[in-house]
Chain A
Amino acid sequence: MAEQRTVEIQVLRYHPQHDEQPAWQSYKIPFSDDTSVLQGLLYIKDEIDGTLSFRWSCRMAICGSCGMMINGKPQLSCHTFLRDLLPGPVRIEALAHFPVERDLIVSAGGFVGKLESIKPYLLPREPRALAAGEYLQTPEELERYEQFSACINCMLCYAACPEFGLNADFVGPGVLALLHRYNADSRDGGRAERMPVLNAEEGVWTCMAVGYCSEVCPKRVDPAHAVNQNKATSAADYFLRFLGPKRGPL
Chain B
Amino acid sequence: MSVVANRPRPYVRSMRGWWRRDPFFMRYMLREATAVGVLIYAIVLTVGVVRLAQGEAAWNGWLAALRSPWSVLLHLALLLAMMFHALTWFEIMPKTLPALLIGGRRVAAATITRGGWTATLVASGALFALAWWWGS
Where the two chains meet, the residues of A that have a C-beta atom closer than 8 Å to any C-beta of B are 14-22, 72-73, 96-97, 99-102, 106-107, 138-140, 143-144, 147, 162, 165-166, 184, 208-212, 214-215, 222, 224-225, 228-229, 231-233
Contacts and interface: CB of A to CB of B under 8 A. Distances in A.
Interface of B: 1-13, 15, 18-19, 21-22, 24-25, 28, 32, 92, 94-99, 101, 104-106
Contacts of A18: 1-4
Contacts of A143: 99, 101, 104-106
B3 to A, nearest CB: 6
Contacts of A139: 104
A225 B8 contact: no
Contact of B104 (A22, A140, A228): A140
Given A18-B2, A101-B10, A143-B106, A209 B98 contact: no
Given A99-B10, A107-B10, A211-B92, A19 B4 contact: yes
A17 B22 contact: no
B120 to A, nearest CB: 19
23 contacts: A16-B5, A16-B7, A16-B10, A17-B4, A18-B2, A99-B10, A99-B11, A101-B8, A143-B101, A147-B106, A162-B15, A162-B18, A184-B99, A208-B32, A211-B95, A212-B22, A212-B28, A214-B95, A222-B95, A224-B92, A228-B92, A228-B96, A231-B96
Contacts of A72: 21-22
Given A139-B104, A209-B92, 16 more contacts: A14-B11, A16-B7, A16-B8, A17-B4, A17-B5, A17-B8, A72-B21, A99-B10, A99-B12, A143-B101, A143-B104, A162-B19, A210-B28, A212-B24, A225-B95, A232-B98
A16 B98 contact: no
Contacts of B104: 138-140, 143
B25 A212 contact: yes
Interface of B is mostly: loop
A227 to B, nearest CB: 8
Contacts of B24: 210, 212, 215
A22, A72, A165: residue with the most chain B Cβ atoms closer than 10 Å? A165
Contact of A224 (B11, B95, B105): B95
B50 to A, nearest CB: 33
Contacts of B13: 22, 96-97, 100
Contact of A209 (B11, B18, B95): B95
B10 A100 contact: yes
A73 B2 CA distance: 33
Nearest to B11: A100
Given A72-B22, A143-B101, A144-B101, A21 B95 contact: no
